[in-house]
Amino acid sequence: MSIYMIGDVQGCDEPLGRLLEHIDFSPSRDTLYLLGDLVNRGPSSLSVIRRLIALDGAAHSLLGNHDLHLLAAANGVRKRHRHDTVHDILEAPDCEAMLDWLRTRRMVVHEHGWLMVHAGVLPQWDVADTLALAAELHAALHGADWKDFLHHMYGNEPARWSDALHGADRLRVLVNAFTRLRFCNVQGEMEFESKDSAGDAPAGFMPWFDVPGRRTAGVPIAFGHWSTLGALQRNDLQSLDTGCVWGGCLTAARITGVPGQVERLSVPCAQAREPGKG
């Protein structure tokens, strides 16, 4: 039995199929954790979703910002961007069933020795905080008023966490941390304009995982979302968005029996999206 974490697929089903062949994946034996951004930008979002639904209990998917964008666009909360590639899902006869499946995916997982998230974790949170707050967000998406939640989901403010936050502001900070975070400052204030590499942090900011005193320091964390970061590999961090949709590769990290260590396996990807095109 092998357990794998896989970075951003973004609608690239053909590379996903090749990666599963490369790792000799068997749904009766092995388990996948996909770290969000299952859809959009690539050419085959519908095929990705159908594949993962068919894998049932063998595949566990987290939500990323592109997955949330699909939910918002499908419900008239956000306009479809001209470079979106989710039309195949929205036009499918079983669209509603797929959207219901998608919105009930988790935000954060802590299993097999790894804390898994799409984007990042704010420095004020330890593992217990992170899981409890992710459960709040999951409940909002799983509940009867989930469409109302989507209307309040977008925005950059508040940019900093406070235990006193409540309602839409509280949930918005959680969405932004778990699905959009790259840079923040020592106070945990998030910055959303820069998408550059870690070495090009805006003045006064740093990669979220380098903030001094981060309360999840030492906890192995796997995340995606940040293709310009490159293949960051540390005993406590694995960055798994290796830019498949941009012509990079699609990467799986096999969890080994050694805490914090993985075996990375990748397949090359043809460029599906030109730089600057969404």
* CB atoms closer than 10 angstroms to residue 241: 30
Instruction: Give the predicted TM-score (pTM) of the model.
Output: 0.95
Tell which wins on pLDDT, 278 or 252. Answer: 252
Mean pLDDT, to the nearest integer, of 249-261? 94
Q: What are phi and psi of 236, to 5 degrees?
A: -110, 5
> Residue 60: CA atoms inside 13 Å, Cβ hemisphere, count?
17
Reference 30, options 66, 63, 58, 9; nearest CA is 58
Does residue 82 have a pLDDT over 60?
Answer: yes
Residue 29, judged by CB atoms within 10 A of its CB (0-12, 13-18, 19+), counts as exposed
pLDDT category, 136, cuts 50, 70, 90? very high
Rg over alpha carbons for the chain, rounded to the nearest Å, is 17
Tell which wins on pLDDT, 28 or 234. Answer: 28
Angle in degrees, CA 135, 25, 93, rounded to 5: 65
Q: Which residue has the tokens 């029996």?
A: 257
Beta pairing class for 233-234 and 237-239: antiparallel
Predicted local confidence at residue 83, as pLDDT: 84
Mean pLDDT, to the nearest integer, of 87-92? 96
End-to-end CA distance of the chain: 38
pLDDT category, 162, cuts 50, 70, 90? very high
Predicted local confidence at residue 126, as pLDDT: 98
Predicted local confidence at residue 273, as pLDDT: 65
The total number of residues shown for the chain amounts to 278
Residues with Cβ < 8 Å from 236, sequence gap 6 or more? Answer: 217, 218, 219, 220, 221, 260
Predicted local confidence at residue 274, as pLDDT: 61
Does residue 81 have a pLDDT over 90?
Answer: no
Predicted local confidence at residue 278, as pLDDT: 44
